[in-house]
Structure 1
Amino acid sequence: MKKEVRTVVYDDDLRVEAYRLEGVIQPFPNHFHEYYVIGLIEGGVRELSCKNQKYTIQKGNILLFNPGDNHACVQSDGNTLDYRGVNITKEVMLDLAEEITGRRDFPEFSRHVILDEEAACYLRPLHDWIMKGSSEFRKEEYLLLLLSMLIQKYGRSFEPGIPCPEEIEKACVFMEQHYGERIYLEQICRCAGLSKSALLRAFTRAKGVTPYGYLENIRIGKAKKLLEQGVTPMEAALQTGFSDQSHFTNYFNRFIGLTPGVYRDIFLGRDEAEKKI
């Protein structure tokens, strides 16, 4: 079996993150990200579920996830997953979209799985250059060309927050403000003005995950930022509301594909390299 390798690199010039997974058999449970994901399957066959739609994804497929798009996947053949992807925060995407379209609107990808060789021809070298730490401005060209093509062919503008009822937005804001505390479902319901059953039904329908799943995703996102700043995994777990470091480590590894310690070391290594320059 192919040796498992997981690598993540942050590009300071582009302000985007590149992932590479090789030899992975791990399933990924239902979750979402607070950023855009553009990924390319290089090997293996997986069953993907995204926003209640089922897909079979394999080599050549490009994945397009908007912030908040819930998805899960599991290997469906005897091979392992070989995947490369680029993660773009909403703030950076807003700047890129304005550069491309002239409008400061968030793009929304209308399709989650595509087969587009032209797009793949931009994504592969862009990803390679980020992983290798290239400083050539061609990587910025390729990022803009890739996004321009994807937005034109598969995107539409949207205003963030419109699809969700006011009560659900109140619940989201409450969790975003209190993620570092021990939160009870009753508190969220009181803030949203809904009963527990009504909140669970409405929230899951609107967001694709339960309120608890949404809270854990917020915590993981906040923990990533702390680890990038050099905070220890134990302190990151405490600051983001996880009950203990073991729970934090297991959850982080399930959704990010790396342990908190390994993720933190990547950024510490980058900082040390910059000091030597």
Structure 2
Amino acid sequence: MHDRAEYREVADPGGLAVLSANFRDHSFVPHCHATYVLGVVDAGEGATTYQGRRHVAPTGAVMLINPGEVHTGAPASVERGWRYRMLYPSIALVERHVGAICGKEAFRPRFRAPVIHDALLATLVSDLHSALTSPTPVRSQHKLFDRTIRHLVTGHMAGVLDEDPRDPCPRPVTVAKAYLCARIAEPVRLTALAAHVALSPFYFSRLFKKHTGMAPYVWLEHARIVRAAGLLRLGRRVSEVAQLTGFSDQAHLTRRFKRVVGVPPGAFVRGLRRDLPSPLHPELEPAARMALDRRHAPAG
């Protein structure tokens, strides 16, 4: 079995992307998304590390990750691999449907994660993915999406995303993230980053990981990938994007990009709808345009 995957953003309902993948050797590094992640395992078994624990999703299981939650992904066994299909609905899209379902003001649901054993939900997710990737009337797609979200809300909702049980992000972590984003194409040493927030490297690393779910160097690479996705969406060449985001060359960017997104940059671009947000993580993509503005600003 050869690793292969296809990524595509769909036109209707807007704010939704899909991924079909068949992996034996490929694994995802710790990352998160600005969207919900909802999928079904069609064959084999997948594994994800989520909130410090390894979870296995067998054939027929549903995988669900809430926005902003750090996780990994890989086959549970390289001998068997796994084949799966994922949906990436935007927060806004889910909010609209949840509001209509509950008959009140829209809110951001938090669902049980990351592995759900629910045969009906698996069928709904499978049917919805098939409808979105084949010639299916838009009305049928909308009905399937509504049924899927309705079943999630009534059977698997665990709270509201805005109810964050963690402590507020401390100022040193916020400052460090801003520092990294401002120097995204530069090599940054841990000692310099810790000194910038007046903490020891050891204490700073522990604090940063506690509140972001990633070590500082992992968070920086994730930020670079998100910035790269934003630049690709703006139509920039892959080689230029690699230079703007701190990768040594196009091949380096391609390897690292695939370990977060699941497909290389070229395949990502082919699946884009440029009027939709990137299905990666939040606050960094606008900085892609700023990076271009600085690069192409007239001298003087």
TM-score in terms of structure 1 length: 0.83
Q: Which structure ranks higher in relative contact order (CA pairs < 8 Å, sequence separation ≥ 6)?
A: 2
Question: Residues 172 and 108 (structure 1 numbering): CA distance in 2 closer, same or farther, change over 3 Å?
Answer: farther
Cα deviation, 1:163-199, whole Å, max 9, x if unaligned, reads 2432333433444455355544356435655332222
Q: Secondary structure at the match of 1:43?
A: strand
Question: Residues 240 and 135 (structure 1 numbering): CA distance in 2 closer, same or farther, change over 3 Å?
Answer: farther
Q: Secondary structure at the match of 2:133?
A: helix
More displaced stretch, 173-182 vs 108-117: 173-182
Instruction: State yes or no: 1:158 paired with 2:161.
Output: yes
Give 2:88's aligned residue.
87
More displaced stretch, 244-253 vs 12-21: 244-253
- 1:28-39 to 2 correspondences below 5 Å: 28-39=28-39
Letter in 1 for 2:243: L
Instruction: State yes or no: 1:171 paired with 2:172.
Output: no
CA distance in 2 between counterparts of 1:177 and 1:161 reads: 27
Cα deviation, 1:196-226, whole Å, max 9, x if unaligned, reads 2222112212222112212222221232233
Q: Secondary structure at the match of 1:56?
A: strand
TM-score in terms of structure 2 length: 0.78
Letter in 2 for 1:111: A
Give 2:291's aligned residue.
none
In structure 1, stretches of 5+ residues that fail to align are 269-277
Give 1:271's aligned residue.
none
- 1:103-252 to 2 correspondences below 5 Å: 103-132=105-134, 134-155=136-157, 156-159=159-162, 163=166, 164-167=168-171, 168-176=173-181, 178-186=183-191, 188-189=193-194, 192-252=197-257
Q: Percent identity?
A: 22
Q: Secondary structure at the match of 2:120?
A: helix
Give 1:265's aligned residue.
270
Letter in 1 for 2:57: I
Cα deviation, 1:82-134, whole Å, max 9, x if unaligned, reads 00000123344444444444334322223211111111121111101211254
Letter in 1 for 2:109: P
In structure 2, stretches of 5+ residues that fail to align are 274-300
Letter in 2 for 1:38: L
CA contact (8 A) 1:42 1:83 kept: yes
CA contact (8 A) 2:21 2:83 kept: yes
CA distance in 1 between counterparts of 2:189 and 2:135 reads: 44
Shift of 1:19: 0.3
CA contact (8 A) 2:32 2:67 kept: yes
Q: Secondary structure at the match of 2:138?
A: coil
CA distance in 2 between counterparts of 1:23 and 1:252 reads: 16
